[in-house]
Structure 1
Amino acid sequence: MGYTPTRGRLEGDVRRTLEQWLPSRLAPGGHTDFAISEFSAPDAGYSGKTVFFTASWKNADGTLHQHNLVLRTQATDHQLFTTPDAVRQAEVMRIMGRHPGVPTPAVVLTERDSNVLGAPFYLMKRVDGRTPSDVPSWHKRGWTTKLTSSQRELMCDNALRALVAVHSVDDPAALAFLRGTDSDGTPLGRYVAGVRRWYDRTRDDLVTGRDTLAAALAELEDHAPPTDSETVVWGDARVGNMSFADDLSVAALFDWETASTGPPDIDLGWWLMFERYLCEALGFSRMPGVPDDDETVRRYLEFGGRLTGDISYFQLLAAVVLSLITNRLALLLVRDGLDANTARSYPTTAVGLVEQYHRDHFNRRTEQQ
């Protein structure tokens, strides 16, 4: 999301370090000619530093092995989230990937010791597939615009089925890991309380929307739906965090930094809000085959998903979270050389959604009284 000129730049001679550190951890004994290719960077991502490379070596019998890998290091010079933890994200992918219908990249190794590369990191296998773009929006440009209407419909349906699979995970150990040590109140209450703490920590640095977000948070705290539902919350559920195979099946689900637990509505509210952020909020229209909000909800339920409250509440919650993220992003983008007006446009658009969703939720709530 956004202008990221420093994306993929790692401090120090990382390739040389990995060439010395990786062989004993990646290649079998007796190997020769271990080498690492030049790094390349993906077209998206700002919450961590991500690079692609190929590791190769010859086994003792002379057989050449090549592995396409992704290195993701925990960012130290910029933070979008309040408590980044690259190694936890890798463990979440390991846990989730064990469950049917939830493909995640295969994690090769993790390293929490910052002395190796300057920050914790993990390696995973690179997934073959295509990912819809945030910038430019996949609703306007890119490979998704070249699909037929039926192909886009298939892509979106497969994506929603994957989301339903995430919400179908009921493994107590997985939920306990994602929940952590916080067990006070309801799962939704804990999630909203976390957003409140996030706002309180960052409000003095917000680029825009401080009063709007404060009012929205009060609405969320005072009128939360009475649910104690708890399932996996992906935290960044959207097609832009999915890799699609040539047949448009879902090859992998990415970006689990903010995975937690709560009602499944949290993810669906984020899904609906984020697509509006990338489409209607930018003046675009849905392409044929791409469902609107109501159709997305209908299909999610048809595929086996479940909802526990008024979805307008969770869309408002999602817009508040996005506003906190994009406010921080704007500061980082200006630091990295983007002009302030362009950088400010990201949180401005998000805060505009907060205002819209707040009105919608207030009107729906008062109509039901």
Structure 2
Amino acid sequence: MAYTATRGELEGDVRDVLARWLPPRLVPETHSDFEISEFSAPDAGYSGKTVFFTASWSDIHGVRRRADLVLRMQASDHQLFVEPDAVRQAEVMHRLGRHPGVGTPDIVLIEPDPRVLGAPFYLMRRVHGRTPSDVPSWHKRGWTVELTESERETLCDNAIRALVAVHRIADENDLAYLRNGSGTTGGTALHRYLDRLREWYAWCRGDLVVGSDVLAEALAELLDHAPETDAEVPVWGDARVGNMSFADDLSVAALFDWETATTGPPDIDLGWWLMFERYLCEALGFTRLPGVPDDDETVRRYVEFGGRPTGDITYYTMLAAFVLALITNRLALLLARDGLDEATARTYPTTAVELTRQYLADHIARRSTTS
């Protein structure tokens, strides 16, 4: 979920700084006439400031060159996560994007020094493709609705294959990087994930807008009945089609938004995938479009394409809904602060909390029948 900076926030001083700062880092010394276009902002969320722009210059032969770029700055005035880290996200994309089937944007440069633009940032090459929408839901409006049933099936299959490719990464150096960024040590990857979740909940508990009782009960269930597994793969943390760019042939061009990347059982991502599609579809009163698989079919295809779930998916969908409820509670505060009416802002966490309630009941029922 990436915060969209307005043109006024990043134009002016930032463009002037980049115009002076970028040339020796981006283009040959023999260039001339370096220019930066006006900024434009993508449709996005709230965890970092994102703008598009084009840098252009003339090479030694007078030929005009250009680079379509994305500037991503770390947010400092509206945190969804406890410790946002733009530099780490860029490094994650750089590392994981080298593996087969895992397309990530090409990282051009990373600047950790906040003195340059006021916050750490990175630049990546813009990926030209189409991304399914969250608002309005891609299940209801947008270019995905105009696809044929067969095309939507292709899109979803390609998306699931990309998720499987992420979970196939076994490079120990990359796993160590993801693991060491978690801030906790000891225990299994799932235990470490839950330790961080407990800390995150404690950080935002006092600011919950809705669902405090449900979330307290769900956290107790998550901690007291965690599956016994030592599975550890890269966990994207925000695995869904809305964080993918698709080429014209519906292949996956790039995977975005790696703020919460870590390690753990692959079920964490799979549960998030299932939960988020329900959040954008059935929870809003929509019906899945022809060609879009339901939960059971999504899991079946994930396994068919090489994925290896480790256990009870009802636990991981409950986990995902709990995480989304924390995020959207925080988001509601930020949206209201920035001018959205409170009733509308509260709809996001209200829907997520209701999903948490449903998944919690499902997990308790399943646990009762298998114990």
1:19 matched to 2:53? no
Q: TM-score, normalised by structure 2?
A: 0.97
Structure 1 residues 49 and 348: alpha-carbon distance in aligned structure 2, compared to 1, 3 A threshold: same
Aligned residue number for residue 89 of structure 2: 89
Aligned residue number for residue 215 of structure 2: 213
Aligned residue number for residue 9 of structure 1: 9
Aligned residue number for residue 330 of structure 1: 332
Measured after TM superposition, the shift of residue 209 of structure 1 is 1.0
Which runs of at least 4 in structure 1 moved beyond 2 Å after TM superposition?
A: 1-12
Aligned residue number for residue 354 of structure 1: 356
1:214-363 to 2 correspondences below 5 Å? 214-363=216-365
Find the aligned partners of 2:260 and 2:8 in 1 and give their Cα distance. Answer: 21
Find the aligned partners of 1:85 and 1:262 in 2 and give their Cα distance. Answer: 20
Give 3-state SS (helix, strand or coil) of 2:62's partner. coil
Asked if structure 2 preserves the Cα contact closer than 8 Å seen for 1:4 and 1:333, the reply is: no
Which amino acid in 1 is paired with 2:67? H
Measured after TM superposition, the shift of residue 88 of structure 1 is 0.4
Asked if structure 2 preserves the Cα contact closer than 8 Å seen for 1:105 and 1:126, the reply is: yes
Percentage identity across paired residues of the two chains: 72
Aligned residue number for residue 370 of structure 2: 368
Asked if structure 2 preserves the Cα contact closer than 8 Å seen for 1:3 and 1:333, the reply is: no
Deviations 1:78-126 (A, max 9, x none): 1111110001000000000110000000000000111110000000000
Which amino acid in 2 is paired with 1:51? V
Find the aligned partners of 1:204 and 1:132 in 2 and give their Cα distance. Answer: 34
1:113-192 to 2 correspondences below 5 Å? 113-180=113-180, 182-192=184-194
1:13-92 to 2 correspondences below 5 Å? 13-92=13-92
Measured after TM superposition, the shift of residue 299 of structure 1 is 0.3
Give 3-state SS (helix, strand or coil) of 2:33's partner. strand
Give 3-state SS (helix, strand or coil) of 1:143's partner. coil
Measured after TM superposition, the shift of residue 205 of structure 1 is 0.6
Measured after TM superposition, the shift of residue 182 of structure 1 is 2.8
Find the aligned partners of 2:169 and 2:23 in 1 and give their Cα distance. Answer: 36
Measured after TM superposition, the shift of residue 9 of structure 1 is 3.0
Find the aligned partners of 2:224 and 2:336 in 1 and give their Cα distance. Answer: 35
Which amino acid in 2 is paired with 1:176? A
Deviations 1:225-250 (A, max 9, x none): 11010000000000000000000000
Which amino acid in 1 is paired with 2:127? V
| Unpaired runs of at least 5, structure 1 | none
1:109 matched to 2:109? yes
Deviations 1:116-163 (A, max 9, x none): 100000000000100000000000000000000000000000000000
Q: TM-score, normalised by structure 1?
A: 0.98
Which amino acid in 2 is paired with 1:333? L
Asked if structure 1 preserves the Cα contact closer than 8 Å seen for 2:3 and 2:49, the reply is: no
| Unpaired runs of at least 5, structure 2 | none
Deviations 1:248-273 (A, max 9, x none): 00000000000000000000000000
Aligned residue number for residue 98 of structure 1: 98
Which of 206, 209, 216 pairs up with 1:204?
206
Give 3-state SS (helix, strand or coil) of 1:47's partner. strand
Task: Report how many aligned residue pairs link the two structures.
Answer: 369
Asked if structure 2 preserves the Cα contact closer than 8 Å seen for 1:127 and 1:252, the reply is: yes
Asked if structure 1 preserves the Cα contact closer than 8 Å seen for 2:215 and 2:356, the reply is: yes
Asked if structure 1 preserves the Cα contact closer than 8 Å seen for 2:90 and 2:122, the reply is: yes
Which amino acid in 2 is paired with 1:366? S
Find the aligned partners of 1:167 and 1:194 in 2 and give their Cα distance. Answer: 21
